[in-house]
C-alpha cells in the first residue's frame, strides 16, 4: 500500500509571536507516524485570510489530505473557516445541523458569537465521531481542527481511523561518539540499503549518549538486515545501547 | 521605523516524523518578538533539496530575511547548504576560511566528513560574532543555522543585533469566563482601536483563569488607551488579574 501524504497548517499569531509553543503539530507528527502517514510539511501562518487560504490551497493540491489547527471559534480572530472557503472559492454558509447543536447551548436564542460557530464553507461535510460534543468540519481533503490542544487531540484521535495505512518498523542505536567519526559508516550502510530511512540526531549534554541513530523501514526483514549491517560497521566501543 | 519581516525554514525529517519536538522555532519566535521583528511564517520541510530550496526561495523573495534551522553538518542528511545554493542558483564551493578553521580540528588532514563542513553556496559571507567556534554562513538575506538547540540559540543570540528594530509594548488580561460571552466586547474595543493587536487564548484546566487576552502595540499611549477601554467594557467580575 502506498504511503499517504499529509500537511498541517497551523493558524497562529500566538505561535509566530512566541506567546505559545505549538503542541498540536508535535502531537499530530507522532500520531501520523504511528498510523503510517507521511507528514510532509508543517506551516505556521498568521491569522490573515490570504496567508491561510494560499497555504491551504497549495497543500490541498500537493498532499492527500490537510489538517488545519486553530482559528476556529466565536472571536474576531477566528477566520480559518472563511480562509478555507476562499482556498476552494466557496461561500461561507450557516450549516443547519451545527445551528441545531449550537442552539442547544443558547436557550435564549443564538447570539452573533454563537452564530459564527455554525459557519462552514459551502459543500463541507460534518464528521461526528466518538463522543465529541461538536462535529469536525471537512471540506474536500481538508479537516478543520481547533487550536486548543485538548480538543485538537480528541478530535484527531476520533478521526485517526480514516488516516491509517501501514506502519513503520523502527530500530534505534545510541552512540557515545560524535557524528564526524561515524559518518563514513552511515554512508556505507546507505549504499547497501538505499531504501533505509536513517536519521542521526546529535544531543549535547546528555549523560548517556552523544548521537541517536534511527533506522526505519516498512519492511521488517529489510530493517533487520540494515540494522545488522550498520552494527557490524560501527566500532563496538562507540555503541552505548540499541532499541 | 517600519517593522522588519522574517520567515523561518526548519529542515527536519525528525520533526515531521515526531521523533523530536522543535524548540528552535519557539526560541526564535520569542526572541524576534522582543527585537521587534515580525516572524510571519514558520515552515517545517523534509530533508529533500527541492523542498528546502523551494521554500527558501519563496521566503527570501517575500520577507526581509530568512533563518534556516537544521541540516548542517558532516552526515549524509545534511543538505541545507546545497539546497540554499539551489534556491539562489549558485554552485557549492569550499570556503578557504572555513577550511582553515575546520583544519585545526584535523591535525592529520581533513577527511570527507570534515570537508563537507567547509562547503558554502558561492558568494556566501561568513559572520564571526561573539566567541563562537564556528562562523555563521549567510547567503543574500538567508542565515543558515544548525539544528542542535544549544548551538542554534548561541548563534542566534550572536546575530540578534543585526535583526533588532523597535519593540512591542504588551498588556495581558486574565479572565474566568469563556470566549463567547466577551466576544462582543473585544469587537467593540477593536472598532475603537483598530490598530491594536488583540489575542484571545482559551486555556482548559487552568486553576486560575479560562482565557488570556493579550493587547499589543508599538505605541505605548495607544496601548494604554485601548487597555483602559477594554477593561471598562468587560464585566468587572470576569477579570481575574492584569499584567
Give the tens place of pLDDT for each residue, B178-205: 888 888 999 999 999 999 988 888 877 7
For testing the chain A interface, which of B3, B32, B44 should be mutated: the one with the most A CBs within 10 Å?
A: B44
Query: For residue B180, what are the CA distances in angstroms to A152, A235, A241, B202?
Result: 19, 62, 53, 11
**Strands annotated E in chain A:** 4-11, 37-45, 65-69, 92-94, 119-121, 125-127, 136-139, 142-145, 169-175, 197-202, 211-217, 239-242
Beta strands in B92-193 (DSSP E): 92-94, 119-121, 125-127, 136-139, 142-145, 169-175
Q: Of A16, A187, A205, which has the smallest distance from its Cβ to B39's Cβ? A: A16
pLDDT, averaged across chain B: 90
DSSP, res B71: -
pLDDT tens string B54-110: 999 999 999 999 999 999 988 877 999 999 999 999 999 999 999 998 898 888 889
Mutation pick from A6, A8, A19 vs chain B, by most beta carbons of B within 10 Å, is: A19
CA distance B199 to B172: 9
Instruction: For A223, list phi and psi in degrees, rounded to 5.
Output: -60, -45
Q: Do B18 and A30 touch (CB under 8 A)?
A: yes
| B11: β partners | B45
Name which residue leads in pLDDT, A143 or A171.
A143
| Nearest by Cα to A174 from A229, A206, A226, A211 | A211
Contact between chains at A19 and B200 (C-beta distance less than 8 A): no
CA-based nearest distance A29→chain B, Å: 4
Average pLDDT (A92-99) is 94
pLDDT at position A208, please? Answer: 86
Residues of A in contact with B76 (CB under 8 A): 183, 186-187, 190, 198
Q: How confident is the model at residue A232 (pLDDT cuts 50, 70, 90)?
A: very high
Contacts of B6 in chain A (CB under 8 A): none
What residue ranges define each of the domains in chain A, with the CATH number in brackets? Answer: 4-163 (3.40.980.10), 169-242 (3.30.70.1130)
**In this predicted model, what pLDDT tens digit does every residue of A109-131 receive, in sequence order?**
898 888 999 999 999 999 886 65
Q: Which residues pair with B95 in a beta bridge?
A: none
Is residue B2 predicted with pLDDT exceeding 80? Answer: no
Mean of the pLDDT values across residues B14-21?
Answer: 91
Instruction: Tell if the CB–CB gap between B33 and A17 is shorter than 8 Å.
Output: yes
Closest-CA residue of chain A to B35: A17
By CB neighbour count within 10 A (0-12 exposed, 13-18 middle, 19+ buried), where does B149 fall? middle
**The complex's ipTM?**
0.74
Residue A203's closest chain B neighbor by CA?
B148
- Intra-chain end-to-end CA distance of chain A, in Å: 27
What global pTM score does this model have?
Answer: 0.75
Amino acid at each position: 500500500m502506498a504511503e499517504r501524504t499529509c500537511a498541517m497548517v497551523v493558524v497562529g499569531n500566538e505561535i509566530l509571536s512566541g506567546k505559545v509553543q505549538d503542541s498540536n503539530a508535535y502531537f499530530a507528527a507522532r500520531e501520523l507516524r504511528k498510523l503510517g502517514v507521511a507528514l510532509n510539511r508543517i506551516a505556521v501562518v498568521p491569522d490573515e485570510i490570504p496567508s491561510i487560504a494560499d497555504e491551504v490551497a497549495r497543500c490541498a493540491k500537493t498532499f492527500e489530505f490537510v489538517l488545519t489547527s486553530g482559528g476556529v471559534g466565536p472571536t474576531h480572530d477566528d477566520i480559518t473557516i472563511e480562509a478555507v472557503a476562499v482556498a476552494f472559492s466557496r461561500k461561507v454558509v450557516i450549516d443547519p445541523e451545527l445551528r441545531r447543536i449550537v442552539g442547544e447551548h443558547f436557550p435564549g436564542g443564538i447570539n452573533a458569537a454563537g452564530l459564527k460557530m455554525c459557519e462552514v464553507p459551502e459543500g463541507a461535510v460534518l464528521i461526528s465521531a466518538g463522543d465529541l460534543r461538536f462535529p469536525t468540519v471537512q471540506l474536500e481533503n481538508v479537516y478543520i481542527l481547533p487550536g486548543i490542544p485538548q480538543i485538537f487531540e480528541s478530535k484527531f484521535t476520533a478521526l485517526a481511523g480514516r488516516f491509517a495505512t501501514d506502519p513503520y518498523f523502527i530500530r534505534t542505536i545510541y552512540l557515545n561518539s560524535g557524528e564526524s567519526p561515524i559518518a563514513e559508516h552511515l554512508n556505507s550502510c546507505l549504499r547497501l540499503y538505499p531504501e533505509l530511512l536513517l536519521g542521526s540526531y546529535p544531543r549535547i549534554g546528555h549523560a548517556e549518549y552523544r548521537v541517536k541513530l534511527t533506522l526505519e523501514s516498512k519492511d521488517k526483514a529489510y530493517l533487520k538486515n540494515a540494522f545488522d549491517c550498520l552494527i557490524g560497521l560501527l566500532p563496538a566501543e562507540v555503541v552505548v545501547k540499541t532499541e
